[in-house]
Amino acid sequence: MFKMNESIKFLPKSPFFRSMNFRIMVFLFLIGTVPLTIYSMMVMVSYERQSLTRLGNDVSNQCQILATQIGSAGYLENQDNETLAGELMQMATLYEGRIILIDQNLRIVEDTYGLEKGRTMVSEEVIKCFKGESTGHHVSGRFIEMIVPIMSGEDMGRTTTGVILVSASTDSLRGKLEELRTSAEIWLVSIGISVLALAVLLSNWLVRPLRHMNKSIGGLVEGALDGDLDIHDCTETENISNTFNSLLAKLRLMEESRQEFVANVSHELKTPLASMKVLADSLLMQENAPVELYQEFMQDIAEEIDRENLIISDLLTLVKMDRKAVELNVSVVDINEFLEQILKRLRPIAEISNIEIVFESNRSVSAEIDTTKLSLAFSNLVENAIKYNRENGWVRVTLDADHKFFYVKVSDSGMGIPEESLDYIFERFYRVDKSHSREIGGTGLGLAIARGAVVAHRGAIKVQSSLEDGTTFTVRIPLKYIA
């Protein structure tokens, strides 16, 4: 069976044959030569046909004149007329052919070749001509042949008393045509060579902007993507250059944030380790340290281990959420029930600081969501609302929906977020007040995780805050999941 790979093998492998340069060159060459070749062939064929028709008509006219002369001179009965005999010979020589005169009895009375004189010729064409049927002229091999009737008598009583058989050579005409064809071919070849040269120049000129672009990109890659593309050869390359520059800017931003992330992760992971090292070292340095001190320090070390664990598990969640094509495990969920469940889990934590959690829902809402991921997002928001609250404060969670989205608002009576920090709180490891947050026990990853989950649902998250009144996070999620 024929396989696709086999067909590919037949394609020229050389980069030149696959290049746009070569394609444009072939295209221009074909455009420049094919119509011209077809046109010149058509002109040649029509010229040949016309020339043959003209020769045939010429011979026919001459014969008609001769036939009239022969008829009126009675040459068929008596061939003494030397002028006519001379004219016959002259015409035969002129057309490099042969003229035969046949009388009513089908006897050949004159043959310019002198071969058949006196013989009888019985041929279908001759008999047809005697009957008055016109046979016209036709080309046979290297000759044009025709039969012309010789009429005698006056007006209505005219009868065919003989016929003239003429064959005129087409050799000299064909010779001239051949010469014409050769010179046309020479012209075509020289035009072909000029068109090819022009096609090479033109195709090179057309792909020059692309070559320039390739060279510039190569230069950028060597320079570790420093700098920008600056190509203005033509509108298209200018557009590509601009798009490429925006891609470069994005890449640089990604690289910057990657480096920042790695630095932050290392720093965050090292902090609990440094604390543990200090605690352990100070125990080791004290000889005969009391058991109570051991217990107290071990308690601190255990807390640092918990913190390290928390950072690592938050990081893992974030990495999972960050993946481009994050796969959502979507199902239709009753959102009222879903939020109630989350709040039920968090109420005991809120009670520690005597914080009241209120849930308000205006309607029953069901939507297509990934419960694990969105539960992480809402838990983080409510946990923050509890963590960054005051004693005896409140947290209000409200649910609303329209025909396209559902909206969850998490408001608190807490400390609020300073305006200058609002742009950064969703960034990984960002914390408004590092020392205070550490005391409270955050990793700085909660909001980044929440935003990741919301964005994966093609939703949006917004924050409003005032240092006196507290903070409100608003989450908008489509009711139907958009893949």
Residues of the shown chain interacting with ligand ADP in the complex, contacts defined by CB under 6 A: 380, 384-385, 388, 412, 414-417, 425, 430-432, 437, 442-448, 471
- Closer residue to ligand ADP, CB minimum distance, 189 or 319: 319
Residue whose tokens read 């999941």? 481
- Closer residue to ligand ADP, CB minimum distance, 66 or 447: 447
> Which residues, at least 6 apart from 222, have a Cβ–Cβ distance to it below 8 Å?
none
- Closer residue to ligand ADP, CB minimum distance, 387 or 457: 387
Number of Cβ within a 10 Å radius of residue 378: 24
Closest distance of CB 423 from ligand ADP, Å: 12
Which helix (H) or strand (E) segment holds residue 369: the answer is strand 366-369
Closest distance of CB 441 from ligand ADP, Å: 8
Closest distance of CB 388 from ligand ADP, Å: 3
Q: How far apart, in whole angstroms, are the C-alpha atoms of residue 158 and residue 154?
A: 5
Q: How far apart, in whole angstroms, are the C-alpha atoms of residue 261 and residue 67?
A: 112
The tokens of 154 are what? 């006056």
Closest distance of CB 470 from ligand ADP, Å: 7
Q: How far apart, in whole angstroms, are the C-alpha atoms of residue 101 and residue 113?
A: 12
Closest distance of CB 446 from ligand ADP, Å: 3
Closest distance of CB 305 from ligand ADP, Å: 18
Three-state SS annotation for 372-387: HHHHHHHHHHHHHHHH
Do 85 and 92 contact (CB within 8 A), yes or no?
A: no
- Closer residue to ligand ADP, CB minimum distance, 149 or 444: 444
Q: How far apart, in whole angstroms, are the C-alpha atoms of residue 129 and residue 112?
A: 21
- The CB-nearest residue to ligand ADP is 442
Question: How close are the terminal C-alpha atoms of the chain, in Å?
Answer: 41
- Closer residue to ligand ADP, CB minimum distance, 128 or 396: 396
Q: In Å, how far are 43, 124, 352 from 299, measured between CA atoms?
A: 105, 132, 21
Closest distance of CB 400 from ligand ADP, Å: 20
Closest distance of CB 479 from ligand ADP, Å: 26
Residues in the chain: 483
The tokens of 406 are what? 């559902």
- Closer residue to ligand ADP, CB minimum distance, 63 or 311: 311
- Closer residue to ligand ADP, CB minimum distance, 431 or 457: 431
Q: How far apart, in whole angstroms, are the C-alpha atoms of residue 137 and residue 132?
A: 15
Query: Any bridge partners for residue 160, and if so which?
Result: 151
- Closer residue to ligand ADP, CB minimum distance, 398 or 437: 437
- Closer residue to ligand ADP, CB minimum distance, 24 or 448: 448
Query: Any bridge partners for residue 108, and if so which?
Result: 102
Closest distance of CB 461 from ligand ADP, Å: 12
Q: Are strands 366-369 and 331-334 parallel, antiparallel or unpaired?
A: antiparallel
The tokens of 314 are what? 């938050």
Number of separate helices (H) and strands (E) present in the chain = 12, 12
